[in-house]
Amino acid sequence: MRIVVLDGYCLNPGDLSWEKLKLLGEFTVFDRTPANLTIERAKNADALLTNKTILNAENMAQMPNLKYIGILATGYNVVDLNYTNNHEIVVTNIPAYSTSSVAQMVFAHILNITNSVDFHSQIVHNGEWTRSIDFCFWRKPQIELAGKTIGLVGLGNTGMATARIALAFGMKVIAVTSKKNLSNDIKHVSYNELWQQSDIISLHCPLCADTKQIINADSLSQMKPTAILINTGRGPLIDEQALANALNTGKIAAAAVDVLSTEPPKADNPLLTARNCFITPHIAWATAEARQRLMDIAAGNLQSFINGNAVNVVKN
């Protein structure tokens, strides 16, 4: 079996091993594949592994041997599933590999905002504590999480992991979710109730027509002026200009995002210069532990396919 990884760098910049996949066939890995080289690199492959490289009907039509596509992520919008279904190409993804890591990043952002961790570290290194006449000082308010309300949009694996951490901090948890029979610790609310009641809002829903730009001028207008918005889900869940406007005019207090509508962002993205907007470069998933888990599941998916018992198959 000829196996080609089209864009392996973000999964494995050199600190992991491809060995489990190498054992499954003739193996080639490319760090990145520009669109104009996709066909050339994939045309003889039996199995392709891709993260963000687009596999559409036009280019897959020129890959006559292709039998399997392993997506090195949970989302599968990079593959034309209509084409793969019609041509009996099996597509798999990697579900729930980064749940703990993403929930951890949610609280890394929350704690950085509520305790101004990075800000106070910087001013200490700039000499302000050395010059202080007091044993302590703070230049931004210190906010306790206990008793605050966190609103979760979506209660999948990551939403539930985030809820458990919030409860451990003594927070009240409310959620918009299709799940029934929630525990007594989590209260089911409407969108409007969530916008209005939450001290912190964290997005954990899939991106679809109903959730695209769910954070917009209207939802932002309902939030508390002290509200904090967290997005570790999908960039297009947010109308970025509306959020920038809300931050710059003080309609909400702060936002932290690990994902943007276009990645890498364009230089004129309004969130790059917005007040109290904290941005990390799509790294919530990228702990060494989560990436190793992803690597192991990817190898297991391909091995199961070879054995005739495909798992984690994506259906259109």
293-to-30, 72, 76 alpha-carbon distances in Å: 20, 11, 18
Q: Give Cα 308 distance to the centre of its chain.
A: 31
**What pLDDT does residue 316 have?**
72
Q: Which residues are catalytic?
A: 234, 263, 282
Q: Give Cα 275 distance to the centre of its chain.
A: 22
**Residue 25: left (phi > 0), alpha (psi -120 to 50), or beta?**
left
**What pLDDT does residue 315 have?**
84
CB 38 within 8 A of CB 55: yes
Closest listed residue to residue 206, CA positions, set 93, 43, 45, 310 = 93
Angle CA 188–173–75, to nearest 5:
80
Mean pLDDT by 10 residues, the chain (316 residues): 97 97 98 98 98 97 98 94 97 96 98 97 98 97 98 96 98 95 94 98 94 97 98 97 98 98 97 98 98 98 98 91
Q: How many residues does the chain have?
A: 316
**What pLDDT does residue 313 have?**
98
Q: Is the pTM of this model over 0.95?
A: no
**What pLDDT does residue 181 have?**
87
DSSP, collapsed to helix, strand or coil, labels residue 178 as: coil
CA-to-CA distance for 254 and 246, rounded, in angstroms?
9
